Amino acid sequence: MNSTDTPQKNPRPDPEELKDLLEESFNTPDSFEEDNASPDAPQSRGLQFLYDVPLQVSVEVGRCKILLKDLLEMGTGQIIELDKMADDPLDLYVNSRLIARGKAVKIGDKFGIKLTDVISTSDRIEKLG
């Protein structure tokens, strides 16, 4: 029997399974510890295999639409007006999905974001699909 004859299991869990895994992970006191199960015990599907997956995190200050000719005419010192007010929260995205909102903070010579509103786990899972 070759590899084309064997049915392949989808490595990505369905949204319901993912929701159960997340609830199980966050409700267990030792959720961030390694499994200490014996090698003979059946392997349960936990989230530990995902902990070292790199994610792209970005913070959006605002957006705008401009014409290509205006973009090509831009120069140093030019100001672009964004769609957000100065006191509006910043949007935090992980892999292009909105995860939270927060305020800009300065830490030494760098900027960061202090989270003020985190999108609920159930809302994030619903948008996976």
**Annotated domain spans of the chain:** 54-129
pLDDT at position 71, please? 93
Cβ neighbours around 92 below 10 Å, total? 20
* pLDDT tens-digit readout, 29-69: 544 444 444 444 445 567 788 888 999 999 999 999 999 99
Taking domain 54-129, whether its CATH number is 2.30.330.10 is answered by yes
Average pLDDT rounded to a whole number, residues 93-101: 92
The conformation of residue 14, written as its DSSP 8-state character, comes to P
Query: Are the CB atoms for 33 and 51 separated by under 8 Å?
Result: no
Q: What is the pTM of this model?
A: 0.58
Which helix (H) or strand (E) covers residue 114, if one does?
A: strand 110-118
Query: Are the CB atoms for 92 and 111 separated by under 8 Å?
Result: no
Q: Can you list the pairs that 76-85 forms with residues at least 24 positions away whose Cβ atoms lie under 8 Å?
A: none
pLDDT band at 125 (very low <50, low <70, confident <90, very high): confident
pLDDT at position 28, please? 52
Q: What percent of the chain has pLDDT over 90?
A: 48
